[in-house]
Structure 1
Amino acid sequence: MSNTPNHASEQSETRAAWRTVKRVSPFIWPAGNFDLRARVVLALLALVATKFVAILSPILQAWAVDDLAGSGVPEFALGAIGLTVAYGMARIATNGFQQIRDALFAKVAQRALRRLALETFEHIHRLSMRYHITRKTGGLSRIIERGVKGVEFLLRYLVFSTGPLVLELVLIGAAIFWKLQDWRYVGIILATIAVYVWFTFAITEWRVKLRRKMNEQDTDANQKAIDSLLNFETVKYFGAAGREAARYDEAMAGYEAAALKTSYSLAFLNFGQAVLITAGLVAVMLLAAIGVQAGELTVGDFVLVNAYMIQITMPLNFLGTVYREIRQALVDMRQMFDLLDEPPEVQDRRNASQLRIAKGRVQFEAVSFSYDSERPILEDVSIDIPAGQTIAIVGPSGSGKSTIGRLLFRFYDVTGGAVVIDGQDVRDVTQDSLHQAIGVVPQDTVLFNDTIYYNIAYGRAHATRDEVIKAARDAQIHDFIMSLPDAYDTRVGERGLKLSGGEKQRVGIARTLLKDPPILLLDEATSALDSETEHEIQEALERAGQGRTVITIAHRLSTVQNADRILVLEKGTVVEAGTHSELLSKNGRYLDLWTLQSSEAARGPCMVEP
């Protein structure tokens, strides 16, 4: 009974492996693509031709030896010289068919990798924000990298190695029996292959577990490295480079230990395979040598047996490598396909329509939301934002302000109530059309590691250069860009770190202005700017907001005084609403926040006037 769990586990792994192979098969045999399917068929034909010619080569060599030794050859043979030439041509033909096979299948493999990479890329972008903020980028990229490599290996070797290997072994056995008419040779070969395959598979199963552990350690080390490098400023601030190095070294020590076990197991496997193959080779050669001495076989037969045993040795050694790598590839691919099977939390409904913006009215109707059941973020929040008006949402940190923007974009679905735009529930429209209708300047603008021009032009795919420059002027960053040696072609570095916080923010503002959306979300849009620039940007944003519905999420109350209406959010509920002057006259929470910020400003270089 003790073996039952292991047996069940092996069956489960086998089923999982077959499911993985089935997932890959449509990429090898793509539906509706005659060109790629024809390539697969022709490649298989070239493969069969390769094997038949490879089996013929030792026979030609044996006949040439027998002719030289005067042992006699078939009447249709060409003599030693002719047979030697034919042998050489057969070797060339074998290689030629192999190259034809590889050339034919190359497009199939590359197209499959391209489709799979695109499918994975698109799926990751479809996954919801909750997934991305809980996964480590380093681990995710490693899973994808290993998975794609696993598919590449499977495409290259499974189709043209495992089946062809069996075919080659059968043909060699048949050729030896045909030539020598002795089952003992076939019996020794079959016994050697059986023991070799059993030993290889048994040890490889053990090695796969070791390799899986090594992969886990590799992923952990990679996650720690990328996480540390992405946060290098924080590491510098706290003088924690040594601490991070020790943390990384600890992870690499785990990887080192796992990698050593994997290497030692590989050495054991290779040595065992060599012993088994050599034993089979020596046994067959001894039997052939005895036959030659007894006059039952010719010297050519001895050469034939030796050539075939060497020919068997190569694919058998390859079988060990292929099996090891296929098992590992299946493990890596399963992780990637598990990622592809991860369902997006937020999905378009089956009958989702395009969002139609008539005026741009936004309504939050009794909206409740929580990231988990134990911590509600918003409770029964109702907000009506008339088209073309500017609404500001203020409140202390943790009050749920930024969550309003995330729900508007439908990064999450509300747990209660509805978010409605021009009478359309955002859950009933496509996410693409929703995102196209809303522009956002986030609290911390993250830029692509490309040029300033690329980052601004990202706001609208086919914008002209003049439109990009106009957006930069409106965001008060054109003059700064032109002062740079490469102007708009200046690269901004990883996540835009070559620019200051204010410069990044202005690029983000220019990008949103270029998008020209009917609804504008400003999430602490000027928080990283100095007072003078903030005033200039505020004017630009007010101009940009004309004729649009604007939702401003702000911490600094001085930036929202001109809003048509201000909502005070606290502990997930709207506690006050009104204009700036109305809220000050209520002597409520807004006044408390205003007084606090005014006193803080008074201690600074300037006083904030109510």
Structure 2
Amino acid sequence: AAATNAIAKAINSGKHEITRDIWLPLVWYSLLTFLSKALKEAQSLIYIKVQQAAYIEIADTTFAHLHSLSLDWHLKKKLGNVVRSMDRGIAAAQQTMQYVFLYLVPTLVEAFAVVLIFVFHFENLRLAVFVGLNLFLYIYVTIKVTLWRKGFRAASTQKDNELHDRLTDSLINYETIKYFAAEPYERREYRSVVEKFQKFSMSVQASLSILNVGQQMIINFTLAGGMILSAVQVVQDPNPNLGNFVAINAYIINVFTPLSFLGTIYNMVISALVDMRSFGQLLAETAEIVDKQGAPELDTTVKNGQAMVEFRKVSFNYAKQPLMRSVKEVSFQVKRGGSMALVGTTGAGKTTITRLLFRFYDVMAGQVLVNSQDVRTVTQRSLR
């Protein structure tokens, strides 16, 4: 505002020669314009430290949370989907803070301030009302169209998840694909997912173009109407003030310049919220196997005559697993320093026995004992 008023003062002071009344406001205009840009860059530099600290905390918390979840969750979850949701979620949390507090809020405050300047400084109520109504229309149209675009963005996000999940799954199962010579099939499936993703990406871009055109129409209409109202005020004033005409034009352009990015900013915020919803669902996952409150650490004291590892009539089956393939009343003992081999066909329960020993799952009946202590009564960390 100070820079714009300075240029108006320079115009009002001008005659037919360069005087101090002309060049001093021009110098102030240049300095204030530079100061505005410099402070904006300083703001970004200061925010980087906050941004980096927040990123580290969110990434660390998410990583620790994923490792705290049960083995069953990790076996059932699609790795590509999880990794993509984590990456986008962390970036979305960062972008939301950045766009809301560094761009959106200052832009709206500046727009409100310009309307007040038209009322109290230029004493042009009609101009203030006209610009204020068009600002409201601009914001309303931006929000409505962006909400309409939200559906395209959500669909694009889903296809992006499927794309990365398909790629990750295919590369992880490289050996199996080679066994069955399934490369052509995998290629067709991957190409199909990529084409669907590009289709929704096109919809996202097309809807953005519609928003940009609508915004530009409102900006040009406001600029034309504002200049007409300003010109009327200058003509009707017994002491014409050309500087005010130029200043009002500059104010309107300046207030809509950051607002021209409002659609992009709002879209980024909405997109970030969509990504954060998926990220929030990831963080909302809870571990099925948890330590009891106040659980002690495993006592590793050597006790003569006691088995180091003991299974007592242990029964267990996975969810949706046929009962005929479940572990039923398994009992055995392994003393300290001893060894035992588990022999059987695929699916006989060898891996399951190991998972129960390390308490990746809880038994449905019986007990798993280590040094005569039920593994469910001690902390998982000390057990493993």
Which range, TM-score by smaller chain?
A: over 0.9
Equivalent residue for 2:196, pick from 241, 254, 274: 254
Equivalent residue for 2:348, pick from 372, 392, 399: 399
On the 8 A contact 2:118/2:125 being kept in 1, the answer is no
What is aligned with 1:385?
334
Give the C-alpha shift of residue 307 in structure 1: 0.8
Trace 1:96-175 onto structure 2 (pairs within 5 A): 96-175=38-117
Residues 495-514 of structure 1: CA deviation (Å, up to 9, x unaligned):
xxxxxxxxxxxxxxxxxxxx
- Aligned-partner SS, 2:340: strand
CA distance in 2 between counterparts of 1:69 and 1:293 reads 19
Residues 551-599 of structure 1: CA deviation (Å, up to 9, x unaligned):
xxxxxxxxxxxxxxxxxxxxxxxxxxxxxxxxxxxxxxxxxxxxxxxxx
Equivalent residue for 2:365, pick from 416, 424, 435: 416
RMSD: 1.8
Give the C-alpha shift of residue 411 in structure 1: 1.1
Equivalent residue for 1:90, pick from 32, 41, 48: 32
Tell me whether 1:62 sits opposite 2:12 in the alignment: no
- Aligned-partner SS, 1:391: coil
Equivalent residue for 2:246, pick from 279, 285, 303: 303
CA distance in 1 between counterparts of 2:368 and 2:316 reads 11
Structure 2 portions without partners, runs of 5+: none
What is aligned with 1:316?
259
The structure showing larger relative contact order (alpha-carbon pairs under 8 Å, at least 6 residues apart) is: 2
Equivalent residue for 2:142, pick from 200, 224, 231: 200
Give the C-alpha shift of residue 340 in structure 1: 0.8
CA distance in 2 between counterparts of 1:406 and 1:217 reads 35
Greater C-alpha Rg: 1
CA distance in 2 between counterparts of 1:202 and 1:190 reads 18
Give the C-alpha shift of residue 229 in structure 1: 1.6
Cα distance change, pair 219–69 in 1 and its aligned pair in 2 (3 A) = farther
On the 8 A contact 1:65/1:80 being kept in 2, the answer is yes
On the 8 A contact 1:69/1:299 being kept in 2, the answer is no
Give the C-alpha shift of residue 101 in structure 1: 1.9
* Identical aligned residues as a percent: 32
Trace 1:274-285 onto structure 2 (pairs within 5 A): 274-285=216-227
CA distance in 2 between counterparts of 1:368 and 1:64 reads 90
What is aligned with 2:312?
365
- Aligned-partner SS, 2:342: strand
Give the C-alpha shift of residue 69 in structure 1: 5.0
Trace 1:129-528 onto structure 2 (pairs within 5 A): 129-295=71-237, 297-359=240-302, 361-372=308-319, 375-376=322-323, 377-435=326-384
* Matched residues, number: 375
On the 8 A contact 1:366/1:418 being kept in 2, the answer is yes
- Aligned-partner SS, 1:363: strand
CA distance in 2 between counterparts of 1:200 and 1:236 reads 51
Residues 174-208 of structure 1: CA deviation (Å, up to 9, x unaligned):
22222220111111111111111111111111101
CA distance in 2 between counterparts of 1:236 and 1:257 reads 31
Relative to its length, the structure with more helix (as a share) is: 2
Give the C-alpha shift of residue 210 in structure 1: 0.7
Letter matched to residue 91 of structure 1? T
- Aligned-partner SS, 1:358: coil
Residues 394-447 of structure 1: CA deviation (Å, up to 9, x unaligned):
222211111000111111111222211112221222222122xxxxxxxxxxxx
CA distance in 1 between counterparts of 2:293 and 2:49 reads 35
Give the C-alpha shift of residue 283 in structure 1: 0.6
Give the C-alpha shift of residue 166 in structure 1: 2.3
CA distance in 1 between counterparts of 2:343 and 2:44 reads 64
Taking structure 2 as the reference length, the TM-score comes to 0.93
CA distance in 1 between counterparts of 2:204 and 2:379 reads 49
CA distance in 2 between counterparts of 1:69 and 1:194 reads 40
Give the C-alpha shift of residue 332 in structure 1: 0.4
Taking structure 1 as the reference length, the TM-score comes to 0.59
Cα distance change, pair 69–405 in 1 and its aligned pair in 2 (3 A) = farther
Give the C-alpha shift of residue 319 in structure 1: 1.9
Structure 1 portions without partners, runs of 5+: 1-54, 71-76, 436-610
Give the C-alpha shift of residue 129 in structure 1: 1.1
Trace 1:15-94 onto structure 2 (pairs within 5 A): 55-68=1-14, 79-94=21-36
Deviation larger for 398-407 or 357-366? 357-366
CA distance in 2 between counterparts of 1:276 and 1:332 reads 30
